[in-house]
Amino acid sequence: MAQASLMHDVPTGNPFPVWRKYTVTKIANGSGGCASANGCWQVNGGTPVTASSSGLTQNLTLTTLPANGFVHNARVKSATACTGITTLVSTLGTTASSTFFVSTGFDLMASVSNTNLSNALLLKTGSDTAASTDVVAGFVGTGIAKTLADVADGCSFSVWLEWSVLP
């Protein structure tokens, strides 16, 4: 008679993938704790806020994955189309690589609709480290004499991440 194998389950938090939503909004100086003449990016309406870059690229932390965090899937959808700059796209990645999960930028300036959302497969799942790391939205803009500081206040999009913690 064959012997049954043993499975060891070590609790590590929530081992089941759960979808979480992160809403990013550009806010004005003096609003919601923003103390930057360039305006700020705010995640989920909370503080701290991150000053908008005076350049054309910037990474914005959406959340911090704990050690052994594993991203299974993601979706991006505009809530309010961005204006004020020639082009603006968002990638999705980690502290080490802002394009780790999604390298083809999602157009944050396209018209908002129920069908204007990212359904692209992730380049990679998991994470680029077993240590704790940030999940970031990477902004890349273009414009003659324009920077990310010129993105109009009220620009808003949501990122849904499905992640869990490996045992």
**pLDDT tens-digit map of 5-59:** 443 344 445 668 999 999 999 999 999 999 999 999 999 998 889 999 999 999 9
Please check whether residue 104 lies inside any domain of the structure. yes
Alpha-carbon torsion (125, 80, 106, 27), positive or negative: negative
Range of the domain at 73: 18-165
pTM of the model: 0.87
User: pLDDT, tens digit, for every residue of 116-157?
Assistant: 888 666 888 889 999 999 999 999 999 888 999 999 999 999
Domain count, the chain: 1
The three-state secondary structure class of 120 is coil
- For residue 54, the domain's CATH number is 2.60.120
In the block, tokens 């991150």 appear at: 50
Q: What Rg do the C-alpha atoms of the chain give, in angstroms?
A: 18
According to DSSP, the residues that pair with 156 across neighbouring strands are: 25, 80
Please check whether residue 5 lies inside any domain of the structure. no
Please check whether residue 156 lies inside any domain of the structure. yes
Q: Which two tokens stand for residue 127?
A: 């994470």
Q: Which pLDDT score, from 0 to 100, does residue 14 have?
A: 61
Please check whether residue 2 lies inside any domain of the structure. no
What span, in angstroms and rounded, lies between the C-alpha atoms of 73 and 53? Answer: 28
Q: Which pLDDT score, from 0 to 100, does residue 120 have?
A: 65
**Side-chain-side CA neighbours of residue 120 (13 Å):** 16
Q: Which pLDDT score, from 0 to 100, does residue 145 have?
A: 86
Please check whether residue 102 lies inside any domain of the structure. yes
